[in-house]
Structure 1
Amino acid sequence: MLKKRMRYLSRYQDIITALYHYGFGQIVRDIGLLERRKPKRSKKKKDTDLSVAKRIRLLLEELGPTFIKLGQLASTRADLFPQHVLNELEALQDNVPSFPYEDAKEILEQELDTPIEQLFRSFNKEPLAAASIGQVHEAELPTGESVVVKIRRPHIQRIIETDLAILEDLLLLAEERVTWVKKFRLIDLFHEFANALKEEINYKNEAQNAERLKRQSKNQPTMYFPVIYSAYSSMKVLTMSKVEGTKITEATYEKGYDQELVAERFATGMFEQIFAHGFFHGDPHPGNIFVTKNNDIILIDFGMVGRLSDDMRHSLALLVQGLKSRHTDRVMKALFAMDIVHEGVDQARLHDDLDYLRLKYYDVPMAEISIGEAVQDLFAVANQHDCLIPPDLTMLGKALLAVESIVSHIAPSIAIIDIVEPFGRMLIKERYDPRRFARKMQKESQESFETIRLLPKDLSQTLKEIRDGKLKVSISIGEIKDLIKKVDRISNKLAFSVVLLSFSIIMTGVIIGGSLTAEPTILLQIPAIEVGLTITSLMFLWIIWAIFRSGRF
């Protein structure tokens, strides 16, 4: 436990010192952690002289794997960050040395529970590539297949968990003390990225993603995926067939490739993943796409994928339809269907901003419009109105931009809208398919029936909790304050009424007693009533003064 605490404290200092070093000392001061900074380092060139975006990139690279991967994930959020920051985040490099072969061998043998000599006929001790999460080695299976083996870095999970815990602490602290942090919902964004990172470092998830993409692309004979060898894979090890091909941006006419055919096959395969299946490769950059001599496409690296529900896909079709027809109301309807617009949004202002965006594309020929850029512009407008963009939609925008960028690079004559349009028609046809309505009605009927079936049980449980005094009511802080004020007002009015009633009863008794008694009595000879009346009057005046002074009458 002490060792863990020391590790946390040391890492805290590293992060805070790096923030200060790269010119973000104001953040450190605002959250009150300046005293934890290590002594300032001396450098020939001041890093604070660089642009903010470049300093963010250098900061993330210095802080290591967790921050590099978070930065790479953040580069997909064009709805949240300006373009000059995104450009730097996309340039993030895993400038990390490879780890020794002995460590790789130990991890392999522990995970697969077999000596490496029995696992592989040959295993290249020198890594083919090294990154922040793991490194890749070439090998040959006993059956003769050439494979690549991805091995996770030693202790990387512990490092990432430590960094994520510290980052969450810092962001929660910043939310309390820095106004803009809470405004931009950075803690929600952090949780989104942290969950994505935890999924990515588990190679079992990547293997499952690859297998699912392979299954759903069986009708695309020109798009291939590496073979995953599950017997040689685990959470920390991923073994797949070696890819033989040329990087897509280097597959030129001069090298014997048909660039237009390559572009068409790549774009068609990606759009089928997105629009037909709703499960797509989330990071289709040139380094993850290879071309065979037959102009077929091979995709690799499936750690990052996007998911779209059926309802989201059909709403997306409505959105594309609205963008294509330049119809603002249809775009608004699509945003509502996607649950992007919430009740607190000023819908009139949002409509005006969307209408302004429509005018931007009004005179541009449809063949020249970038769908990815249009979707990104749309999300940027929605974000200005504090609309919540689901992460899979932002990943979709990023994937569309990447596809268009590659297609325009290798085949500028191809209009991307011509490849997308058939999928749009397919989605619209599917949207109004009677069989889809029937399935949806059946599903909703089943859910309604289940709700009705459980209603007596739920009602009985609620009544039991009421009888036992165990019914829980959720009240926010603001509601508690209002409730306390109301209770104060009620209690003060009640006290006022009681005193006033007492005073009235005494006065009534005095009047009645005086009228019924003709002869003087011992009681009347003692000024007890006058004293009582005086005391009661003073108490009455004091309570009235106290109530009015509290301001809660």
Structure 2
Amino acid sequence: MAQAAGFLAELPGTVLRVARVGGTVFGYAVVFGPAALAARLRRRQWAHAGECLSSLLTSLGPSYIKIGQLLSTRRDLLPEQVCTELGRLADATPPPRRNRLEGVLRRAYQGRAWPFTEFDVTPVATGSIATIHRAVTSDGRQVAVKVRRPGIGRVMRRDFRLTGMAMSALQWLPKLRSMPFKIMHAQVGGAILHQLDFMAEREALGDLRTNLSEFAWVHIPAPLPELCSDDVLVMEYVEGLARRSPESLPQDARKTAARRVMSTVYEMLFVDGLVHCDLHPGNLYVSSDGSLVILDAGFVIKLSEPVRASFADFFINMAIGNGPLCAEIIIESAASIVEGCDLDGFRASLTELVAESTGARSSEFNLAKFAGRLFDLQRRFGLYPVPEFAFPLLSLLVVEGIVQGLDPELDFQAEAMPVLRRRNMPRASVNS
């Protein structure tokens, strides 16, 4: 009864959200569709098309901005001008009105002394979920204060319900009835909503700092727990952050940074199981000496041990070209397998796919295309993976575009071997 009452209470807002999303998309299609089509036909004016897409995603809200930030890293899949425009999404959202911002801060520190001697209400960065402000604490520490946008939780939860309805509709299609759409939506969509939980982000920052403490070239700002609340996250301020294009870095620094990015991500995936899934250029900064700064731990996922082990097993066997064992790992870890599935056909097809990909360098190996072909094989043969597999793939997809820009010759698979050798891999030989 309580759930039904809550649904009915939110129904008017959800209907309005549907109308706004639909109306916004339709309006942009009418106004900018012809120009975008002309640009596509003439293979130019991509910057204008990217600007229109960026503006559309900004209008739709935070859930859609996250999609644009992911796409901005994929210069191998999209025209460079489009990626450049999408890359501006990290700072595209205007800040909330000052009185609303002050209201959030007032409630956060209600009943205790104001902890800052200086606080700049003009944000140094504006994101889809929060704004970042520079401040000085009463004991003189320079800090960054992340303030959640007022009302953003309500908007994102409505978007979550909309995508849930879309997933339910897809479940009615005959060829898609076996796919675990509801579970996928609950896990992936739930992870996006998890970014609203600043207390969880505070814990994730601390855990990442601990897990990566041996990497002297990775810096993650330390949180100040005593100053944090449900709507405000306070952490140390990192000076000198600047977004640098790969071309602006010395060649040695580019190659060094590429290896360090992959080492960091592989450490998360294969050793710690605590994975940052949102390392787009607004959250991952590369210094001129190749050192890294990682920000914003809102989209950090703790993988279950079975998923972490299965993903690592699959990756290492893909790297050494053991297609048959890759197939067995997929089969054993599947969430569901349709009745009458041609398992031998799947094994043969996946073995062929792995053989094509083994040993490929960054410029030759495209994770998005590999993952697309893998998912297509699973769909065709009726083997559906556990939805949690989406998170390690998402993490790699986000950084792949960045790494390709830094060092196209980097061997993705070879860079994983030192990390994989440090974990117990009973199902694979790592002598290669």
For normalisation by structure 1, the TM-score amounts to 0.61
2:381 aligned partner: 385
Deviations 1:477-517 (A, max 9, x none): xxxxxxxxxxxxxxxxxxxxxxxxxxxxxxxxxxxxxxxxx
Shift of 1:119: 1.3
**Paired residue for 2:216?**
221
Shift in Å at residue 124 of structure 1? Answer: 0.5
Is 1:113 aligned to residue 110 of structure 2? yes
Task: Provide the C-alpha distance between the structure 1 equivalents of 2:13 and 2:402, rounded to a whole number of angstroms.
Answer: 43
Q: Cα offset for 1:281?
A: 1.4
Q: Write the distance in 1 (CA, Å) between the matches of 2:28 and 2:407.
A: 49
Structure 2 CA distance for partners of 1:6 and 1:204, relative to 1, 3 Å: closer
Q: Which amino acid aligns with 1:244?
A: E
What CA distance in whole angstroms lies between the structure 1 residues aligned with 2:120 and 2:394?
Answer: 35
Q: Structure 1 residues 114 and 264 mapped into 2: Cα distance closer, same or farther (>3 Å)?
A: farther
Partner amino acid, structure 1, of 2:334: D
Distance in 1 between the 2:171 and 2:418 partners?
50
Whole-Å Cα distance in 1 between the matches of residues 269 and 19 of structure 2? 41
> 2:313 is matched with which residue?
318
Map Cα deviations across residues 91-129 of structure 1 (whole Å, 9 max, x no partner): 49475321122222221221222577x311100121222
Higher gyration radius (CA): 1
- Distance apart, 1:237 and its partner CA: 0.6
Counterpart for residue 12 of structure 2: 9
2:292 to 284, 291, 297: 297
Instruction: Report the counterpart of residue 95 of structure 2 in structure 1.
Output: 98
Cα distance between partner residues in 2 of 1:401 and 1:234: 32
Shift in Å at residue 311 of structure 1?
3.5
Please list every run of 5 or more consecutive structure 2 residues that lacks an aligned counterpart in the other structure: 41-48
Query: Match of 1:485?
Result: none
For 2:101, the aligned partner's letter is A
CA pair 246-325 structure 1, distance change in 2 beyond 3 A: same
Structure 1 pair 75–351 and aligned structure 2 pair: CA distance change class (3 A): farther
Equivalent residue in structure 1 for 2:31, among 42, 45, 48: 45
CA separation of 1:224/1:190 partners in 2, compared to 1, >3 Å: closer, same or farther? same
Give matches, 1:486-501, under 5 Å: none
Q: Which amino acid aligns with 1:220?
A: F
Q: Retained in 1: the 8 A contact 2:324–2:350?
A: no
- Would the alpha carbon gap of residues 380 and 142 (structure 1) be closer, same or farther in structure 2, given more than 3 Å must change? farther
CA distance in 1, matches of 2:420, 2:7: 54
Separation of aligned partners in 2, 1:159 and 1:365: 42
Residues 311 and 176 of structure 1, relative CA distance in 2, 3 Å threshold:
closer
| Structure-2 change in CA distance of 1:417 and 1:68 (3 Å) | closer
Deviations 1:330-352 (A, max 9, x none): 11112134335635333133223
Superposition map of 1:90-239 within 5 A: 91=86, 93=89, 95-113=92-110, 118-165=114-161, 168=164, 172=168, 174=169, 186-239=181-234
Which amino acid in the other structure matches residue 22 of structure 2?
L
Quote how far apart the aligned CAs of 1:19 are. 2.8
Residue deviations 1:426-483 (CA, integer Å, cap 9, x gap): 33556689xxxxxxxxxxxxxxxxxxxxxxxxxxxxxxxxxxxxxxxxxxxxxxxxxx
Q: Find the aligned partners of 2:296 and 2:415 in 1 and give their Cα distance.
A: 24
Shift of 1:399: 2.2
* Residues 462-541 of structure 1 mapped to structure 2, 5 A cutoff: none
Cα distance in 2, alignment partners of residues 252 and 264 from structure 1: 17
Q: Which amino acid aligns with 1:419?
A: E
Question: Per the alignment, do residues 164 and 378 of structure 1 end up closer, same or farther by CA in structure 2, a change over 3 Å counting?
Answer: closer
* Contact 1:120–1:141 (CA under 8 A) maintained in structure 2: yes
Greater mean deviation of Cα atoms: 297-306 or 381-390: 381-390
In the alignment, which residue of structure 2 is the partner of 1:396? 392
| Helix, strand or coil at the partner of 1:315 | helix
Cα drift, residue 243 of structure 1: 1.6
Number of equivalenced pairs: 405
Q: Letter of the aligned partner of 1:395 in structure 2?
A: F
Candidates 11, 15, 19, aligned match of 2:22 = 19
Q: Deviations over 1:262-305 (max 9, x none)?
A: 33333222222221212121122222122456643221111112
SS in 2 for 1:287: coil
Q: Unpaired segments of 5 or more residues in structure 1?
A: 24-40, 434-553
Where is the helix percentage greater, Structure 1 or Structure 2? 1
Highest RCO, 1 vs 2 (Cα 8 Å, sep ≥ 6): 2
* Residue 422 of structure 2 corresponds to residue 426 of structure 1: yes
Shift of 1:210: 0.9
In structure 2, the residue corresponding to 1:240 is in which secondary structure? strand
Instruction: Name the CA distance, whole Å, in 2 between partners of 1:195 and 1:50.
Output: 33
| Paired letter, 2:239 | E
Deviation string 1:51-73 (CA, Å, 9 cap, x unpaired) is: 7999998765433334545x469
Following superposition, the deviation at residue 423 of structure 1 comes to 1.9
Work out whether residues 221 and 295 of structure 2, in 8 Å CA contact, stay in contact via their aligned partners in 1. yes
Residues 357-406 of structure 1, C-alpha deviations (whole Å, 9 max, x = no match): 245347x6578653845455434422443433334422212322444433
- Report if the CA contact (8 A) 2:316-2:428 is conserved: no
The Cα shift of 1:244 comes to 2.3
> What is the aligned-residue identity percentage?
19
- Bigger CA drift: 218-227 or 332-341? 332-341
Change (3 A) 1:307 1:343: farther
1:285 aligned to which of 266, 280, 289: 280
Secondary structure of the residue aligned to 2:384 is coil
Amino acid at match of 1:112: Y
Contact 1:19 1:59 in 2 (8 A): no
Provide the C-alpha distance between the structure 1 equivalents of 2:213 and 2:135, rounded to a whole number of angstroms: 28
**What SS does structure 2 have at the residue aligned with 1:370?**
coil
1:196-222 Cα shifts (integer Å, max 9, x gaps): 132111111111111111111122222
Q: Is the 8 A contact 1:224 1:298 kept in 2?
A: yes
CA distance in 1, matches of 2:31, 2:381: 40
**TM-score for the superposition, normalised by structure 2:** 0.76
Q: Which amino acid aligns with 2:31?
A: K
Q: CA separation in 2, counterparts of 1:5 and 1:216? A: 44
Q: 1:265 aligns with which of 260, 264, 274?
A: 260
The DSSP-based 3-state class of the residue aligned with 1:159 is helix
Instruction: Provide the alpha-carbon RMSD of the alignment.
Output: 4.3
Structure 2 CA distance for partners of 1:91 and 1:178, relative to 1, 3 Å: farther
Aligned to 2:334: 339
Relative to 1, partners in 2 of residues 1:167 and 1:428: Cα closer, same or farther, differing over 3 Å? closer
